[in-house]
Structure 1
């Protein structure tokens, strides 16, 4: 049997995407999706906030157009990253996006002019 690592998420962007510069001046785009549970047992279990990243320059062009609250579909793979910090070994899970699409942009509220 073949091993498969495929993730599809649809969720709301929790804030503006962040940009980090890597050695060699490459960039990584980092964002978080809020994904609601359909059958949550409690309000605490109603959502997951999932970290997503892309190293792909073409996809980063798309990510630059997103704003807080946009509904995004992400397709990629789950990754477990490890590194050493001053306090010891660290790790995190994130979705490395191979593709992503803006599905819906909520209407923006107009700011009142004084």
Structure 2
């Protein structure tokens, strides 16, 4: 999409560690999703403590759900997607959250073995 000759886009690429086991959730609508948090270190600043960003990610579509469902705490992963703001009702009040909608993802290195996965699927995802 363009506006005034400038390409408008919403693209996110993260490379980081899965901070806890991804969670499968079923929404009141019946939709299934997987949620996870990817921790990415910030660039080092001389004299400052090392900082990280813990970013909420959600996989709605079938292919990314299959990928994320095979990930584990500590896995080094690459996530591609877009930033989304989702609105919902919690305890009778309207609320929102910003999260990365996972469109593609892959394991770079498994936490438990320290090795890269053997098989890579054609869509840029790895099989668990």
Give the shorter-chain TM-score range: 0.7 to 0.9
| TM-score, reference length from structure 1 | 0.82
- 5+ unaligned residues in a row in structure 2: which ranges? 1-5, 114-128
- Aligned pair count reads 107
| Aligned residues of 2:84 and 2:98 also touching (Cα < 8 A) | yes
Alpha-carbon distance, 1:106 to partner = 2.6
2:95, 2:70 → 1: CA distance?
Answer: 31
- Gaps of at least 5 residues in structure 1 are 109-114
Question: Which residue of the partner structure matches residue 111 of structure 1?
Answer: none
In the alignment, is residue 42 of structure 1 matched against residue 44 of structure 2?
no
- Counterparts of 1:1-114 in structure 2, within 5 Å, are 1-40=6-45, 42-43=48-49, 46-86=51-91, 88-107=93-112
58-67 vs 70-79, greater mean Cα deviation? 58-67
Structure 1 residues 85 and 64 mapped into 2: Cα distance closer, same or farther (>3 Å)? Answer: closer
Distance 1:38 1:72 in 2: 18
Higher relative contact order structure (alpha carbons within 8 Å, sequence separation ≥ 6): 1
Q: Sort the Cα spacing of 1:42 and 1:80 in 2 relative to 1 into closer, same or farther, 3 A.
A: farther
TM, length-normalised to structure 2: 0.74
Counterparts of 2:22 and 2:106, CA distance in 1: 14
